[in-house]
Amino acid sequence: MTDARHQGGGAAGTDGDGAAHPWLPAGKAAPPGGPGTGSDSDRADGSDRPAGLRPAGPGAGHATAAGSAQAPASTAVVVEEAPPSAGTGAAAAEQPAPASPAPAGQEHVPGLGGQWRPVIRASAIGLLLLAVVVLGFVGYLYGLSDVQEARSQAVLYQQFQLELANQVAPLGPNGPNGLNGARGPTPPGSPVAILNIPRIGIRDMVVVQGTNPQNLMVGPGHRPDSPLPGQPGVVQIYGRRATFGAPFGRLSELRPGDIITAITGQGTSTYKVAAAAFSDEIIKDPAPGRMLLLTASSDAVPSYYYQVDADLTSSVRPSPGVATSIYSSQLPLANDTTNLAMAMVWSLALALIAAIGTVAAARWSPWAAYLAMVPLAIAVLWNLYENLAALLPNLY
């Protein structure tokens, strides 16, 4: 609203809406409801500002003409502008605050996790496969090896019965061998006797030639530099205590007077238990015909062996002689280190099969890759476990 300046009295003026209003003397208030009052009925624009008050135009509050007299102070209307800080403060409030810098110790290096993720994944898969192989070996040693020994015993028993029937069973370190009775060194692992010990549940147990770890995987073994049962001298037969059927697992239950019988190509011989002791004691027995049964002292971690001494009570059989020397792997609690190289070869073969199977599963059908590789992996694992078992003590 333009601020009109008046002197004394004068004609009626006009308001911003174009309507004429009567002139009022200075100091006299307008009647209720009239223009210029602050009643709620005159809120023309719906704001808190009275309808009679309008924003001052440019140059408001200044003289409109040269020489004009100023109006009385009571009739002047002054509209104050908002302080400049109000608008700028609102604009500043709308602007986002700058992010505070991260502490120096918590700086993130981009791409570091992604760089090591394949290595971590490959390491985890490798450790998982190693755990599976180790658990498989434990299962083989204390479970599947029993099945393997039982099957070997069944085959060897039939073979030895056939040799006995044809009178071609081995009588010493030089045969006869096979159904044709060929002369020559008795092959390691071939059957030479059948053992019966009723007290500890051993019935028709086949004894093979040799006492190294591989020989004892199929049953009790006869040490080649000792005579066969029934012949003069000290017969030595080894048997495992905890693995591969544990044929001598109950050997410590034998007591003096218990009967042991052995069947060879020369007939049946009988022994009677005389004494038992651990390997740190020497059994002194003057009998001309004796039998020593040896096994590990413990089914956990054996450090020495347990021996049972029995005296021959039946007639003595003639002896064709014994082997003059044996390998160190045929001594009590010995292992066969020559199997270490084969164990490494089978380990590399297993790793190769695993790599080929992984690539085949990624490029072609996973099920087809698994069906092709699983039988090969089982065969390789079986051979690997056999060579690893040969690294353990032969009496375990």
The pLDDT value given to residue 91 = 44
pTM of the model: 0.69
Can you give the residue ranges of every domain in the chain?
144-327
The mean pLDDT values, 10 residues at a time, for the chain of 396 residues are 40 44 46 44 42 43 38 44 46 50 50 69 80 92 94 96 92 80 85 96 96 96 96 96 95 96 96 93 88 92 92 94 92 93 93 86 83 90 94 94
The pLDDT value given to residue 113 = 54
Do the bridges between strand 221-222 and strand 202-209 make them parallel or antiparallel, or are there none, so unpaired?
Answer: parallel
Contact 230, 264 (CB under 8 A): yes
Fold of 144-327: Sortase; Chain: A; (2.40.260)
Q: How far is CA 147 from the centre of its chain?
A: 28
Do the bridges between strand 267-278 and strand 20-21 make them parallel or antiparallel, or are there none, so unpaired?
Answer: unpaired
Q: Angle at Cα 361 formed by Cα 358 and Cα 364, nearest 5°? A: 140
